[in-house]
Structure 1
Amino acid sequence: MTSIQDLTKRIKGYADEHRPNLHIIPDDLFLGLIIILVAFGSFGLGRLSKIESSKTPVQFENTTETSSEKVRPFPSTNATDNQLVASKNGTKYYYSWCTGVSKISPANLIHFGSKEEAEARGYT
């Protein structure tokens, strides 16, 4: 059996053998590197605080603006008259409120009353 004192000597001996050699860098060079790193860190933090303080906060005002453009009410899904629209030259039908309908010329518009009617005429 080994005593506690023998164990501490073995542990300290192992630590002394495997401890990194910190005396490779001279003390003056080490102090200079520390000063340079602190200077760069301080400069970076100062720049960061200046950038953060120069940002203006976002402010919301409760003002309502009226536009001259009329707002269309959303069409009800129960309406069956002229709900579907297609182009004479195309193969697809659209709902009348779809933005793609605005690209179809009014002369080429076809109106359908139901989905079945549009599909019966060959539109998908």
Structure 2
Amino acid sequence: MTIPGLIARSKALLARIPTDILLTLVILSSVGTSFWLGLITGREQGALQGKPDISIEQFEVPNIAPGGGPAAAVAAPKAISPSTGTYMASKNGTKYYLPTCSSSNRIKPENRVWFKSKAEAEAAGYGPAANCPGL
């Protein structure tokens, strides 16, 4: 069989397939080929960097006393009245503020925790707010 004969035979075969089905097959095959090439390339790059294809890590389950949970393990910070506190924090947050900071106005009054000193706030697990000048 000659090359012109193969071309004529291929055209005749393709003419029998509806255009929308042919277009769908071409798109699906190009998407599949692209995905396959990307997968192979990713595996080769991972092998070059010494990374395994799959990694399994052990998950450690913490021992929790009966009747206690994560909330019971964390001691609530000691709150003092606003008139004697000079630093405030949110009981849901991790940062403490001066009452003059703009960020401290966003803390709901029922969520405010007051401290007398920086040391007391840091001992309770809070850190200074980066956007509050004077800390």
TM-score scaled by length of structure 2: 0.32
Larger radius of gyration: 1
TM-score scaled by length of structure 1: 0.35
